[in-house]
Structure 1
Amino acid sequence: MTQAATSDTNVLDLSTCDSEPIRTPGSIQPHGFALSLAEDLTVLQASENLAQHIGSAAAGAVGLPLARVIGDTAAALVVTELAATRVLERPLYLGTVCISETCYFDVLAHRYDGVLMLEFESVERRASADFRNLYPLVGEFLLKLNNTVSTDAMSALAADEIRAVTGYGRVMVYHFDHDGHGHVIAESLADGYHSYLGQRFPASDIPRQARELYTLNRIRLIHDANYTPARLVPAINPVTGAPNDLSFAALRSVSPIHLQYMRNMKTLASMSVSLIVKGKLWGLISCHNETPSPVAFERRTACEQLGQILALSIESREDASELQFRLDLRRIMVSMLGGLTQGADFIDNMTSVFPALLTFARASGVAIVVDDRLLTYGDTPSDEQIRELVGWLSIRAHGDVFHTDQLAAGYPGGADITRNASGILALPISRIHKHYLIWFRPEVIHTIDWAGNPHAKEGAGPLDQLTPRTSFSSWRETITGTSIPWHKGELELALEFRTALLGIALERAEQMAELAEELGRANKELEAFSYSVSHDLRAPLRHIVGFSDLLLESASNEDLEKRHRFLKNIKESARLAGKLVDDLLSFSQMGRAALRPSTISMNDLVHGCIEKLAGDTHGRDLRWEVEDLPEVRADASFIQLAVYNLLSNAVKFTSQKESAIIRIRAERHPHENVFHIEDNGAGFNMDYVHKLFGVFQRLHRMEDFQGTGIGLANVRRIVERHGGKAWASSVAGQGATFSFSIPKELPV
């Protein structure tokens, strides 16, 4: 920060405050001195107050060995400690040295910006710093934290402990909200100090780069706000050719603006301890004292340790709270999804979980918009207002979720629905159509107590906006037009819920597609059935009527042989009609009857079917070849019917062969067993294989091979009910192979 002079007074130029080089101020606080050293411990730079502390001029010290500047005894201690210690970027205590016989200094060392920086802080004690009290202090603090139940309570404990360690008059713990404002959540006060508990400090009090430095260097001490900075000599770092980066220097000089801010607050000494949670600046422990007050390094170390413990405890509590919050949300979401899968109509199902939807989003109202349908529950805007909002969302909102806790700030119609829709969370459930699930949160009017008006600064001169604020009196602001903010967990779980909704909708679409496919197939079967009724079933009935008429006409005829033949034809036609009706009934039952699975020996089942077919094969030259077959888990009655139909087909289509061979074999696979029934019969043309398993489909003339055309359709339906497949291959005139698979795990 630079100072700009006017004709009559000096004022602080705040026009570039947020870009001020606070890491490279070029100076230090004067309650100590600093030396930057090369690797051989030659002095590269010295602070200009060197003479005030040890009687040697800063310019004269540059280029000298360290021992020539601080004396052999002090240099020997520094050299010994440097050799035994790994010095990094954070200041490390090397010991306490005596220089010029009467001056004692704590020596801190750190390596940064290409140099070894030694800082000598003036102290009253003559002995080295005593860290023995640090362990019991930390141990007792941990025990106290275990008995607290909230972040505020833990922060209050830390404030009390740090005030006891530092002796400062006021210690505040404040947390930065999502807008960067600091909210004082705990405080420890000495008598006579003003309280800021519950109040907020505006984000502008701590510029962006200052917050970054708080994250980098977690403790900062200002001994006396009325100090005069001591510049480094020379001003440019000889190693880097630029001003020194003093980010980690304990004596680093601070912004004149901040010093004026302290004086306006009647604070002459301050110390800040950063609270870093998950790598981010969560808050600060801010210590104030009305008079100048040093804090020795060992006490600062204790405060830093207490701050780190508090930050870890806050992180642990927040993680546990976050986890519990998300678990509660997930339980509600799982319950809702269970309810959404009960009925066929997805939108109607949503109405059954309306109360849970409100609980899930901590909302007062919810609406579902799907095309012309609008369903609402709870306290919501009117239907017309919701439709206008959806129109705006479809144009303005992008992505998988839209949320705001200040709808009126962005939506022109928001002011009319502030009461019950100051905040909304909207999930688009279609990329094409205006389909939305929208939660509404009502307006929450609340007040904020500021430590001074954050929107104005006191004074009447033309430079009022370029000076640190001077008033820290409590100022109350009333906030309207906002709702409770949306929690990050709510937004993430809402996205998961949207994905699940889309999954349910997709599953419904797939079910509808399968239903349409099944309906199409049923329609084709119905068409085939109609054809069968009009053709296949009509034919035997026509025969019955025709031969009955012939029988009546020949009633006076004594030709018994002709009458016997007519009766035989009537009987055969009636039998065929009855067989057709039986097969139709069987096919219908295949789609409705429940499976009763059991373990089946396919060897026994096949041999049983062969025995039943013995009457049809009597007198024929037919050889059965049955390999060893595996067991399956299936419905015994259904599988027996399927196998019997396939074996019966093989017997029928080999009837014109002088020597017939029917072979039954199996293939064993990890997840299924496949069975093949091969014959050397008539076969069929593979161009028509797609018709083979259809209802009433024949690839041969009925006069050549009798049958109803339902048997193979039954086979396919039985196998598919078990989760398997049925297929066939053939060369016309050379036989056919019919195959089917049965999974080892039946579908649920």
Structure 2
Amino acid sequence: MATDDLDLNACSREPIHIPGSIQPHGLLLALSDDAAGAAFTLTQASANAGPALRVAVEDALGRPVEEVVRPELAGPLADFLGKRSFPNRPVPVGLTALPSVGMVQILAHAAEDGAVVVELERLTDEANSRLDHVYPRMRETIERLDALNAPADILACAAQEVRALTGFDRVLVYRFDADWHGTVVAEDGNGRLPSYLDLRFPATDIPVQARELYRLNRQRLIPDSGYAPVPILPALNPGTGRPLDLSFSVLRSVSPVHVEYMRNMETASSMSVSILLHGRLWGLISCHHKDPFQVSYALRSACDLIAQILSVRIAAVEDRRDAEHRIALKAIQARLLAAMAQADPFIAGLTEAPDDLLRFAAATGAAVVFEQTCTLVGETPTVREVMGLVSWLAEQGEPEQFETDSLSALHPPAAAFEDKAAGLLAIAVSKLHASYILWFRPEVVRTVRWGGDPRKPERHEPGATRLHPRTSFEAWKETVRHRALPWTLAERETAAELRHAIIGIVLRKAEELAALSRELARSNKELESFSYSVSHDLRAPFRHIVGYAELLQELESDHLSATGRRYLDTIVDAANTAGSLVDNLLHFSQMGRSELTPVSIDMGQLVGEVRETLAPEAVGRAIDWNVGPLPTVRGDPTMMRLVLQNLLSNAIKYTRGREPARIAVGCEDRPKETLFYVRDNGVGFNQAYVKKLFGVFQRLHRNEEFEGIGIGLANVRRAVDRHGGQTWAEGRLDEGAAFFFTLPKADPTKSESAKPESGKPDRAKPELRDPNE
């Protein structure tokens, strides 16, 4: 039969809390009260309950309790039932002797389905069945546990004391990990059974519903794994139509798979007591005996007390350790936030304290990805690999926080760098962009010693294939690969707190930037209006100055001295220059106010047209032009013509004196933009002053050397900015210069006819940045 036919989850679905039977070392009666609550009726009973009844089990069902139970039970039961308030955990009601059974411990509790369950457990050792006899022996045990501080010593002492109290051949303390695998962390034995100390057992050995039952019912005893289950009659409660709930029963029959498991371990009897931390199942005190062996309720209660003391001591140690860890993480978090508050941009504060950033998550590497900028700290994957991780996280719906100790199992490409990042803890720090802080831990190769091969064999049976427990528990070693050390709860929760703090900073910065942006927009609008008004109003006076000066030259030059005529020439030149300045300033202002009209532009053809326009400036010059293939782009033709005209005119101007002058025009295709450049072999410039180049009226050469007014490159930058691109330059004195500008590519997902708000295109973040800004 194919393995696919195997029902791997059948064991985890087994209804172990309603098995419909009990173990034979006791008897069970299930009672329910009538509608008026005046009397109790026997509704169900174990098939072996005859010694507790005056009549046969079948004849006693459905009749009042006081009519059918033996006199030895009538008194204790009447006292218990008369209280009308029943605990949901078994409590001792009394001791009595029954014919053919002997001394029994009477235990009773209220089941989840409303029935009152009375259990009569046989006693094998009457002395150890009395609570007042057992508890004095606990004083020494409690004193020994109180004297210890180290967790390992406390656990070892608990195993020793439980074995001394009960007499089991072997007592284990078994701890669950985050994946519910269990490890034997302490052991005490007499050598009759093999040692399992430090061995690991798979989570499948104790399925989910069994762990939940361990959490609810802290005690379980199986005196003889070879027992034959005793059925409960009738199988269904007549009042509810459901099986009797035995979740808290001390006699509850256990799963056949578990009984088979015990036999495979060569243990005839077992007892377990749960260890709970803050209501969660932490582990078990697990006791085994080679032969059938029964422990009284009083001794089991004493072991339960030891487990509770263990819980308190372990919780104190772990809580103190966790508190110290959280305090340390809080201190690191405070330093990181302080560094962010002082840094500009604020996110850089995280990487300015790299040791704190790594210590915060006990990581060997970290990455800060903010607005497409990636900064690495410590041992990390490459920038490309980190950005691939960020893209993958975004595909998961951009989780606010993500953690794993086995990244390659979720993201297969991570297998290539698991020596640096087998584990990942990531927090999203922006809701607008794919921005994350990521911490990495490398692969830790470990050897795990299992108690037998954890894989369960299959066995063919008529009509089905079902799983059976392992038959061997010899130490079985496994090398665990592709995993990092797991992230602790404190690390995960403190990372979440750091995220909230950073989000707060991001939002506050966004509000501040929005306010500044509004103020800047208002100021720019006022400045543009002012410059437009001033430049427009100044044009007429300068024209008048030039006109009247030229008339004076024409009509009165004979009456002026040579010096006067020279002064007049200077007035005309200065007025013309001032007029040009005003015209260019007016043009610069109009460029910021005008509406973009984007169309398809053949940049190669446009360069050719601009060269024809500038041909008079190159007359008599030897210029070697090298114009590469240029693409068609989308932009405003007037502004693009202005950009190329300024850049080519400058190249012609500043190569004056070079024989030959060399001017190159080309482009580079990029995923999200097109890069254009104009290079020349002219006089160049000092790179230290590159930031002045694109400013209004900024010049790096004297007017006597090269004419100009210093507004052309400012116009270039404004025109490119309006298109969502960037501009920058590179140069060296006497070795030439290169000017670059980028134009974003059109987004195919957006409508061609859709106009950006305020006539401006969407500003896509380019991958290439000006290295000089």
Q: Report what 2:470 is aligned to.
A: 469
SS in 1 for 2:243: coil
TM-score norm. by structure 1 comes to 0.64
- d(CA) in 1 for partners of 2:101, 2:378: 79
Q: 2:185 is matched with which residue? A: 185
Q: With the length of structure 2 as denominator, give the TM-score of the two structures.
A: 0.62
Contact (CA 8 Å) 2:457, 2:467: kept in 1 or not?
Answer: no
Deviation at 1:169, TM superposition (A): 0.9
Matches within 5 A, 1:65-464: 66=65, 69-83=68-82, 86-100=85-99, 103-112=102-111, 113-124=113-124, 129-371=129-371, 373-396=373-396, 398-457=398-457
The 1:303–1:85 alpha-carbon spacing in structure 2 relative to 1, beyond 3 Å, is farther
Amino acid at match of 1:497: L
Instruction: For residue 346 of structure 1, give the secondary structure of its aligned residue in structure 2.
Output: coil
Aligned partner of 1:50 in structure 2 is: 49
The yes-or-no answer on 1:25 pairing with 2:58 is no
CA distance in 2, matches of 1:143, 1:256: 40
User: Alpha carbons of 1:521 and 1:468: their partners in 2 closer, same or farther (altered >3 Å)?
Assistant: closer
SS in 1 for 2:473: coil
C-alpha spacing 1:383/1:57, structure 2 compared with 1 (3 Å):
same
Show CA shifts across 1:641-683 (max 9, x none).
xxxxxxxxxxxxxxxxxxxxxxxxxxxxxxxxxxxxxxxxxxx
Name the SS for the 1:476 alignment partner: strand
Q: 32-41 vs 237-246, which deviates more?
A: 32-41
- Structure 1 residues 347 and 460, CA gap change in structure 2 (3 angstroms): same
- Assess if the C-alpha contact under 8 Å between 2:26 and 2:121 holds in 1: yes
Change (3 A) 1:250 1:353: same
Deviates more, 1:454-463 or 1:146-155: 454-463
Matched position secondary structure for 1:36: strand
Quote the offset at 1:379 in angstroms.
0.9
Cα deviation, residue 236, structure 1:
2.5
Return 33-42 or 255-264, whichever deviates more.
Answer: 33-42
Q: How far apart, in 1, do the equivalents of 2:397 and 2:298 lie?
A: 55
Gaps of 5+ in 2: 1-5, 34-38, 536-773
Query: % of aligned pairs identical?
Result: 43
SS of the aligned residue for 1:341 comes to: helix
Contact 2:46/2:232 (CA < 8 Å) preserved in 1?
yes
Distance 2:528 2:70 in 1: 112
Q: Deviations over 1:361-383 (max 9, x none)?
A: 11111122334533212111122
3-state SS in 1 of match to 2:342: coil
Counterpart in the other structure of 2:734: none
Q: CA shift at 1:230, angstroms?
A: 1.4
Q: How does 1:470-509 map to 2 (within 5 A)?
A: 470-509=471-510
Q: Is the Cα contact below 8 Å between 1:155 and 1:310 reproduced in 2? A: yes
Q: 1:24 to 1:193 in 2, by over 3 A?
A: same
Quote the Cα distance in structure 2 between the aligned partners of 1:187 and 1:159: 6
In the TM superposition, what whole-angstrom CA distance separates every residue of 1:677-697 from its partner, at most 9, and x where no partner exists? Answer: xxxxxxxxxxxxxxxxxxxxx
Q: 1:81 to 1:479 in 2, by over 3 A?
A: same
Partner of 2:705: none
Question: Distance between the aligned counterparts of 2:236 and 2:460, measured in 1?
Answer: 40
Per-residue CA deviations over 1:396-438 (Å, capped at 9, x if unaligned) read 3522122221111121311110100111122233333333322
Deviation track 1:438-481 (CA, whole Å, cap 9, x = no partner) reads 21111111121111111243879998753222111111111111
Q: Deviations over 1:618-651 (max 9, x none)?
A: xxxxxxxxxxxxxxxxxxxxxxxxxxxxxxxxxx
Which is further off, 268-277 or 340-349? 340-349
Instruction: State the distance in 2 between where 1:127 and 1:486 align.
Output: 50
Amino acid at match of 2:279: G
Measured at CA, do residues 370 and 25 of structure 1 come closer, stay the same or move farther in structure 2, by a change above 3 Å?
closer
Q: Residue 235 of structure 2 aligns to which amino acid in structure 1?
A: A
Paired residue type of 2:327 = L
Task: Please state whether the residue corresponding to 1:331 is helix, strand or coil.
Answer: helix
- SS of the aligned residue for 2:358 comes to helix
Which residue type is aligned with residue 439 of structure 2? Answer: W
> Which structure 1 segments of 5+ residues have no match?
1-11, 535-748
Which residue identity lines up with residue 118 of structure 1 in the other structure?
V
CA RMSD of aligned residues (A): 3.4
Amino acid at match of 1:99: L
- d(CA) in 2 for partners of 1:14, 1:401: 32
Matched, 1:34 2:28: yes
Distance 1:173 1:110 in 2: 28
**Alignment partners' CA distance in 2, 1:14 and 1:422:** 29
State the 1:77 CA deviation: 3.5
* Conserved? CA contact 2:456–2:469, under 8 Å: no
For these two proteins, the number of residue pairs brought into alignment is: 522
Aligned mates of 1:312, 1:165 — CA distance in 2? 20
* Contact 2:427/2:436, CA 8 A, preserved across alignment: yes
Structure 2 distance, partners of 1:233, 1:521, is: 88
CA contact (8 A) 1:32 1:53 kept: no
Q: What letter matches 1:111 in structure 2? A: A
**1:137 to partner: Cα distance:** 4.6
Rounded to whole Å, the distance in 2 between the matches of 1:347 and 1:191 is 62
**Take 1:90 and 1:114, find their aligned partners in 2: how far apart are those partners?**
13
Distance 1:185 1:392 in 2: 39
Distance 1:56 1:485 in 2: 62
* Superposition map of 1:510-529 within 5 A: 510-511=511-512
After TM superposition, list the pairs within 5 Å mapping 1:463-612 onto structure 2: 466-511=467-512
Q: What is the alpha-carbon distance in structure 2 between the residues aligned to residue 196 and residue 43 of structure 1?
A: 45
1:242, distance to aligned residue in structure 2 (A): 2.3
- Alpha-carbon shift at residue 197 of structure 1 (Å): 1.3
1:671 maps to none
| Letter of the 2:404 counterpart | T
Q: Is contact 1:159-1:172 (8 Å) kept?
A: yes
CA distance in 2, matches of 1:129, 1:484: 47
Q: CA separation in 1, counterparts of 2:77 and 2:371?
A: 79
State how far apart, in whole Å, the 2-side matches of 1:232 and 1:83 are. 25
| Structure 1 residue 516, shift from structure 2 partner | 6.4
> In structure 1, how many angstroms separate the alpha carbons of the residues matched to 2:110 and 2:213?
17
